[in-house]
Amino acid sequence: MDKKTLYEKAEKAFNQAFEVTKQTVKAVSEKAGETAHITKLLIDKLTLEHQVTRQFAKLGGRIYEKSTREGKKISDSDREIKALIEEAKKLAVKLAQVEATLEQERRVKNKK
């Protein structure tokens, strides 16, 4: 199985799992009486988690491609690898912010 086929299958599985999870969270939140704002935060969180997973898959795929298929050494000065890492870091920061906001909203809601 070539790398592209493997990556495409993995990405398809990630996307399917993400959609199912997103729908499940929405349904559970609505049944649990979560506010619309908390539901939106949950969906934002899931979306960012999905984006982080995809970014790591891209990064891993590119490292694998360079090291195994192209026989190149992986270096932290490699522009493409560096860009993928920076994007993953940005997504992780956004995810942490959404998680903090979500936690704060839940605390406020539980006090009521």
* Joined tokens for residue 3: 């790398």
- Which one-letter DSSP state was computed for residue 72? P
Give the predicted TM-score (pTM) of the model: 0.66
Q: Are 54 and 7 in contact (CB under 8 A)?
A: no
- Collect the ranges in the chain with pLDDT lower than 70: 1-4, 6-7, 29-34, 112
Q: For the chain, what is the domain count?
A: 1
Maximum separation of any 2 CA atoms in the chain, in Å = 60
What pLDDT sits at residue 48? Answer: 93
3-state secondary structure of 53: helix
Q: What is the rounded CA–CA span in Å between residue 107 and residue 38? A: 11
